[in-house]
Structure 1
Amino acid sequence: MVTLSEIRAAAERIRGVVHHTPLDRSENFSRVTGARIFLKLESLQRGGSFKIRGAYNCIAQLSPEQRARGVAAVSAGNHAQGVALACKMLHVPATIFMPLNTPLAKIQATQGYGAHVELAGESFHEAYLALQKWQKTHRAVLVHPFDDNRIIAGQGTVALELLEDCPDLDMIVAPIGGGGLVSGIACAAKSLNSRIRILGVQAAGANAACLSKKSGERVELEKVATLADGIAIKGPSRRTWTLLREYVDDVVQVSDAQIAHAVLLFLERSRLVVEGAGAAPLAAMVDGRIRARGKNVALVVSGGNIDSLMLSNLIQKSLVEQGRIVRFSLIISDAPGSLAKLLEHIASYRASILDVTHDRMSSRVGLGSTGVEVTLETRGHPHIREISRGLRAAGYPVSKNL
């Protein structure tokens, strides 16, 4: 088991290397949730996430002989960058195994810190198997993303900063993948204040820790599916499960749609770029999965490493879910002025027209008619229903396809 003394030693070891990240009071999110919300912005950490804390604490303790052999790690993103950055600072060779579908931006960021990247497998698990095979002919030291006391102790330094900056916290909420972050935080926080509540948040498609907490036994999933790749792990290790069971009060889960909404909230309300895993705690608070009205609550915003394409898709998904974007399909007369009349009718409902396309070739469109798809910016689902009813009343056959 990791101890408070080990976490304090880690804090000394990483001092001057790792940022003491801001703890920002969010008036916007406080109003939405009814709690006094503080954001622990690990998204502004070196390497873009909390991972540098554990990685540096671990690698800094290697012997000269171990450092000369180099280190190896497997990761879909944040751990890779944390290990690569720590190795650069400590002048240690690093080889990082990443799944074949890892976004290019994360591969390039890892390489930018000087690490050698090997792409293997379609998932974290398959990349890990490739690393194990590679290790049979290499002597590099494995730096595991969460199943290591030195890693957990490093991540636990987040809690020391939280309680230094806000001693009267009532609750800390953190995302859970393999459990290294939340178990380190929980161990430190509970050792300093036994009354503080520690809650973890998982994606519904990668909810092994949630199931483990409910059953009282460690659960490992056969597969995971979530847009929050930073917490897309099949389950906690025996080491992190022991800490989760002992120190974490509860674990809740949120859907990908709720995570996407939280990412958008961070962008629009706080002007922060946050990855899916980092947005999960806010998603749980906004959705009411965690209730803490009137309490001082710290949300650990674990990282901000999200590639541009994923961010674009995630924003689009969230806007559609909220009824802020809709696409209607209609069939109208191909006579001159018909399209202008349709658009004028739509404009009367004060919806912004984002895109219009014609389709005269479809088999569903008769002679003298044309298919039209119109994409609108709307003010929510009631507004969409109002527009749809109005179009039908005006004689336009309409269907929603987005």
Structure 2
Amino acid sequence: MKKMLSLVFALVLLAQAAPATAEIKFSGDAQVRPRGEFTDIDGLDDKDDMKYYYRLRLRAAADLGDGFFAKALISSETPGWLVSVGDSNSETYDLGVSQLYFGRMMENSHYMMGRLPLNSFNNPVFDISMYPFQATEIPTFIYNNDRIYGFNYGTKVGPGELNATLCVLNNDMTENDVFEDGYAVHVAYKTNIGNVTFEPQLLAALTDADIAGGAFISGSSYAKSAYNDVTPFTVGANVTIPANKTTFTVSGFYTWADGEGTRLSLEEDCCDTQIVSTSHDVDYSAYLLRIKAQNGPITAWLDYNAADDDTDGAGDDYTNMFIWAQYNWKVHESSMGSFTIAPTVRYLATDYNDAEASRLRTELWASVSF
């Protein structure tokens, strides 16, 4: 609580200390979310559970004039999207600077730098790149807090807009070499063909990077198999098609990596679980297909993700299907904010080398924005 009050106090001081010509706007949102979770894994007893999550986010946006701007998002840095209630309400809610970036918007171009938002909730290119074996259920949004450190430049090219971002994926401290850090470039071109929006994309690792991989639902670890020092390459596109009152979005992405790398695996015994690192000749490929529909307050989509991991000839096969369905009911809306209730259903089915598992999550999102 002391840390939270200190951050809020710092924002107020920043606003008071700003030049008279600068305009700083503050906003935010808060959410509580009870969740029922029902898991079925081959060979194990079914597991049902109730969890109670909550979240607070604070935003600051400064207009510096002549197109220059600065933005920040303060939120919990705990992976997992929201913080859940612990034993005897003993959990702590730590706030931190989740996003911080600045730049300039011009008539036909822009640039920005810092810890940038990704919009990965609507764009799965980072999901399939960083979680190729389980790219469904929006893992970048949930586990990576939907942000990345980078340098972005966008400009109008022909009838559309070209965006290029140099991304810093990780900082490798094992070698005395700046090029041992993980860098990638993300390029997207967004244009309209009639009333259809077409956005082809490329995400390519420029140096060795670390990825989470993904896992068969185990309950003990989301990333049961991960790779370090690999260079994935991803191509694909999002296509948005309006049809009367419904907007459809179709996404398709393909990723692959080969070459020397390090595999991180969990080894479990009777008393302990440890991460084991071994060198391998990495060779995997994966794809993700999504069809999404939005009609007024209703949003639903279906993801299908398949991966083939032939590292050292292992021949591991992963398939994942994910369904998201949500109804947004706006209880109250005014110039000062809004109150929304959103029943949500999330269903994940996975298959790892013919072993099957499924997980159903039923949630009630209650959110206020201010």
Structure with the bigger percentage of strand: 2
- TM-score normalised by length of structure 1: 0.23
- TM-score normalised by length of structure 2: 0.24
Structure with the bigger percentage of helix: 1
Larger Rg: 1
